[in-house]
Amino acid sequence: MKRRISPFLLAAAALIAATAFLLVRSSPTSAHIELRAGTGSAVWFFRACNDVETTDVAVQTVALDTTKYGQKSLRINIGNAYPGYQLRCELYLANNGNKPIQVNSISVFNLNPGDLTIKAVENAGDQDKTLKPCGFTPEWGTQPNKVPLSCRTKINFNLSIGPGAEQDARMYFGILMHLGEKYR
Least confident range from 20-29, 133-142, 170-179: namely 20-29
Domains in the chain: boundaries: 27-181
CA–CA separation, 13 vs 28, rounded Å? 26
What string of H, E and C letters represents the secondary structure of 73-123? EEEEEEECCCCCCEEEEEEEEEECCCCCEEEEEEEEEECCCCCEEEEEEEC
Residue 34 is predicted with a pLDDT of 67
Is the pLDDT at 35 greater than 50, yes or no?
yes
Instruction: Name the least confident of 4-8, 63-67, 81-85, 144-148.
Output: 4-8
Average pLDDT for the chain: 75
One-letter identity of residue 135: G
Which letter, b or e, does each residue of 98-115 get, where b requires 16 or more Cβ atoms within 10 Å of its Cβ? ebbbbbeebebebebeeb
Q: Specify the pLDDT at position 16.
A: 26
| Choice between 110 and 1, residue whose per-residue pLDDT is larger | 110
pLDDT in tens, 2-28: 444 333 322 222 222 222 222 223 334
